[in-house]
Amino acid sequence: MPINQIRKTQHALAGFFSDREYYRRLVKIGVPIAFQQLIMSSLNMVGVVMIGQLGAAPVAAVGLANQIFFLLNLVLFAIGSGSAMFTAQLWGIRDIRNIRRVLGLALTLGLLIATFFLCIAEFFPEQVLSIYSKDPIVITLGSDYLRIIGFSFLLYAISFCYSSILRSTGDVQTPLIVTLTSLSLNTLLSYTLIFGRFGMPPMGVQGAAFAVICSRIVECTLLLFLIYRKRSPAAGKLSEMFSYDRAFARRVLIPILPVVGNEILWSLGVTAYNVIFARMGTNEIAAMNIVASIDQVAFVIFYGIGHACAILVGNRIGAGDEAQAFRYAARSFVLSILGGIFMGVILLACRDVVLSWYNVSPVVIEYAYRVLTIIGLLLWLRASNMTLFVGIFRSGGDTRFAFILDGIIIWVVGVPLAFTAAFILHLPIYWVYLFVMSEEIAKWLLGVYRFLTRKWIHNLALAVET
């Protein structure tokens, strides 16, 4: 390669990575979001460790019961991230009136979904959990846990919708403070009620469920108090939030519904994975629940990058600066790959130490160790996909393509291969998980191509102006 060409390439790379304003804003937004996710994931792992002291069956029971919450969380995530792609762009032009109307629509949808899942948790827990497992002990323990935490779903929906809007307007500190308070309380109460400390009787799995209820009450109350005290952009009156008409709802829902459909199909696909894991045996699903709690901690930095990318890119698109939006997206994507490689190495180095915290059988530990090996090697792939779909395509309003790629491929590629590996080839759990990762490879290849075309950039702020 000629020297001039090399110098041009070096100059281009230096320019690509030297935007101080981008990094300043990425750190300001992404670090609190990542730290919040770290708190959530770390305390969730602590909770699994505490439940793990009771044995494999309680771990499996709580893990499977939380699959119902996981489904609720993903649908709320779809509503929240779909709404946030509007509010991030609306914040780019400081349109507070329509930000509050989008929040009202999000609350309407979120509470309807939460009510549906509440009914499932209260009236059909055994039937739902029997889809995952045939172990009667696991089903009984999981049903008791689910009936108790079901009452927290409505509160969680309110907190989630408000937090999504806050982050999209750049306020990441308030959700961080609330999450830290709520989850710290959850951990303290879990320790007290599970094991019977400070004069309380030991309640086991039910104690963990009551801890969830108490922490959700505190979370929702504190969040609303801080929002309205600070008079943030999300601090709308009921008359402001629910002033949307059918025309407004239609304009907002057209791009949001593919996000909801995407998350529903994807979450059902993940549910299918967990059904496969659980049907392989209690040891297998216990191992995967342990792995999930560890993986969440390793993934927090990419949660921060992805959501910060969505806010930064959305703000730029809303302001009409599409070239800068593309540059911000490209930097975030490359950072996700590099960060994924780095965190994967750390995860591989820490496997033995982290798994030694769990009081489960050697078989469960062996399964978890091998699955963590695969996760460490492929973390960069999942991290960059997170940035592509949540940080780039959704913030650009390209929700239909994301729906096809993220919602459909899991059923066309991932689930059939996982089923084949588990029940036709009868492979161990770690090989089944490797087959699951084929979905991520297919999404990455097609997603990178779509990103380079720039067809994902759409200005949504113009669509809701009235």
Rounded to 5°, angle at Cα 102 from 29 and 409: 70
Residue 171: strand, helix, or coil: coil
- 150-192: pLDDT as tens digits: 888 999 899 988 988 888 887 878 888 888 888 888 888 888 8
Residue 464 has pLDDT above 70, yes or no: no
- H-helix segments, 196-321: 205-230, 238-241, 246-280, 282-298, 300-318
Ordered DSSP codes for 11-76? HHHHHHH--HHHHHHHHHHHHHHHHHHHHHHHHHHHHHHHHHTT-HHHHHHHHHHHHHHHHHHHHH
At 226 the pLDDT is: 92
Nearest to 447 by CA among 392, 378, 371: 392
- 369-407: pLDDT as tens digits: 999 999 999 999 999 998 998 788 877 878 788 888 878
- Under 8 Å between Cβ of 162 and 171: no
Q: How far is CA 167 from CA 95, 125, 265, in A?
A: 15, 34, 25
At 45 the pLDDT is: 60
- Helix and strand counts by DSSP (H, E) for the chain: 21, 0
Residue 85 has pLDDT above 80, yes or no: no
Q: How many CB atoms lie under 10 A from the CB of residue 3?
A: 7
At 187, list the tokens: 């951990």
At 224 the pLDDT is: 92
Which H or E element spans position 374? helix 362-386
Cα atoms found within 13 Å of the Cα of residue 230, Cβ hemisphere only: 14
- Under 8 Å between Cβ of 190 and 207: yes
